[in-house]
């Protein structure tokens, strides 16, 4: 199991050799070469071969910059990410406006190679860098009455053409149940492939919840609020019949307008066939228990 998500396996272990050679210095001091052979075995590595940096940064959803897949790469350059302030409020012991560096100070950055599955039925494998969201929550001190975490994306109309055009209502909002937020798989990502997070992928800090459809993984976060009430997330607000709060990847619960049983792996090549979608995106063993009492076709 460890190969799926611990840092036993780094991107360098599964990237093409040319990229690997350039990255050796980056991984010095982390898991390193030995882990390649210790973790997972050949089939696991094959399965989790990451998409290229190019693919991950040129095929995106980030409606603040437009609805086309190349709009974020084309338009995100103007977003101002330094300074970056994150407001932490609601049911926390230490609310406040945190400079990003202060929020992350002292927390351990890890590399996590995760499957990433969009509700639109395409997928990638992405080597993220980031901290566990649980560590941030511990730092700000979650109060006993809190049950959910709500997140908001930055709104910079002058730098975001999709915001100027009002393609949907902004700010983009997402939410997690507290136990989901505290799960060790839930990452607050600050980079990918060992580089600072590209703007089109949600610089400087975005959520990654690998067992849920991609829209839960909210980008460019400026506000984290601990709440008692379940937040209404953006896509649920837009169309609650099609997009729920939970959004767990599930091949057995179709979207009203398309099947979710298979997916198209980006970069799979012209003749690559669609692949089967896995329950909880392949992380059932880790997260299935969180939903033991739920009817996943009702709470989609
Ligand atoms: N703020 C914000 N976050 C967002 C989105 C968005 O439009 N705005 N799109 C979501 C969707 S639908 C997906 S699939 C992922 C895409 O992440 P990626 O472009 O890094 O692959 O971001 C999610 N986070
Ligand atoms: Mo998505």
CATH code, 253: 3.90.420.10
Residue 155 within a domain? yes
Pairing state between β 122-132 and 110-117: antiparallel
Residues with a CB atom less than 6 Å from ligand 1? 60-64, 118, 153, 172, 201-202, 214-215, 217-220
Q: Which ligand is nearest to the CA of 207?
A: 1
Q: Among 219, 243, 263, 266, which residue has the most ligand 1 atoms within 8 Å of its CB, making it the best to mutate?
A: 219
Per-residue pLDDT of the chain (300 residues; tens, 9 = 90+): 333 444 444 554 444 433 433 333 334 334 433 333 333 334 444 588 999 999 999 999 999 999 999 999 999 999 999 999 999 999 999 999 999 999 999 999 999 999 999 999 999 999 999 999 999 999 999 999 999 999 999 999 999 999 999 999 999 999 999 999 999 999 999 999 999 999 999 999 999 999 999 999 999 999 999 999 999 999 999 999 999 999 999 999 999 999 999 999 999 777 777 999 999 999 999 999 999 999 999 999
CA dist 51 → 73, 126, 198, 232 (Å): 16, 6, 15, 32
Domain count, the chain: 1
Residue 5 within a domain? no
Confidence at residue 18, expressed as pLDDT on a 0 to 100 scale: 38
Bridge partners of residue 212, in order along the sequence: 248
Q: Is 102 left (phi over 0), alpha (psi -120 to 50) or beta?
A: alpha
Q: Whose CA is nearest to atom 6 of ligand 1?
A: 62
Residue 80 within a domain? yes
Residue 6 within a domain? no
Q: Among 121, 168, 202, which residue has the most ligand 1 atoms within 8 Å of its CB, making it the best to mutate?
A: 202
Residue 192 within a domain? yes
Of 41, 44, 50, the C-alpha closest to 11 is: 50
Q: Among 60, 62, 72, 74, which residue has the most ligand 1 atoms within 8 Å of its CB, making it the best to mutate?
A: 62
Model's pTM, two decimal places?
0.88
Q: Whose CA is nearest to atom 16 of ligand 1?
A: 61
Q: Which residues neighbour 146 within 8 Å (Cβ) at sequence distance 6 or greater?
A: 90, 91, 92, 178, 226, 227, 228
Q: Which ligand is nearest to the CA of 116?
A: 1
Instruction: Specify whether the CB–CB gap between 217 and 281 falls below 8 A.
Output: no
- Read off φ and ψ for residue 72, nearest 5 degrees: -60, -45
Distance, CA 179 to ligand 2 centroid (Å)?
A: 22
Confidence at residue 272, expressed as pLDDT on a 0 to 100 scale: 76
Residue 300 within a domain? no
Residue 299 within a domain? no
* Residue span of the structural domain in which 21 resides: 11-291
Residue 207 within a domain? yes
| Residue with the two structure tokens 């990255």 | 23
């Amino acid at each position: 199991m460890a190969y799926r998500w611990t840092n036993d396996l780094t991107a360098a272990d599964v990237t093409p050799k040319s990229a690997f050679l350039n990255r050796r210095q980056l991984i010095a001091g982390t898991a390193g070469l030995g882990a390649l052979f210790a973790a997972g075995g050949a089939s696991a590595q094959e399965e989790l071969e990451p998409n290229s940096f190019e693919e991950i940064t040129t095929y995106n959803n980030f409606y603040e910059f437009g609805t086309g897949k190349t709009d974020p790469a084309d338009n995100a350059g103007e977003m101002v990410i330094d300074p970056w302030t994150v407001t932490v409020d609601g049911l926390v012991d230490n609310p406040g406006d945190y400079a990003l560096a202060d929020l992350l100070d002292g927390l351990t950055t890890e590399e996590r190679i995760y499957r990433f599955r969009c509700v639109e039925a395409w997928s990638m494998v992405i080597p993220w860098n980031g901290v566990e969201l649980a560590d941030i929550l511990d730092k700000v001190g979650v109060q006993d009455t809190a049950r959910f975490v709500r997140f908001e994306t930055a709104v910079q109309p002058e730098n975001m053409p999709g915001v100027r055009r009002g393609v949907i209502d902004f700010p983009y909002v997402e939410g997690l149940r507290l136990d989901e937020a505290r799960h060790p798989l839930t990452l607050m990502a600050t980079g990918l492939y060992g580089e600072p997070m590209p703007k089109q992928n949600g610089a400087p800090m975005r959520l990654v919840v690998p067992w849920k459809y991609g829209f839960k993984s909210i980008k460019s976060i400026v506000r984290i609020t601990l709440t008692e009430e379940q937040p209404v997330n953006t896509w649920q607000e837009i169309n609650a019949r099609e997009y729920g709060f939970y959004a767990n990847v599930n091949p057995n619960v179709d979207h009203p307008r398309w099947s979710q049983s298979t997916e198209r792996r980006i970069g799979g090549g012209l003749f690559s066939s669609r692949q089967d979608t896995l329950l909880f995106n392949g992380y059932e063993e880790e997260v299935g228990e969180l939903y033991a009492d739920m009817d996943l076709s009702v709470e989609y």
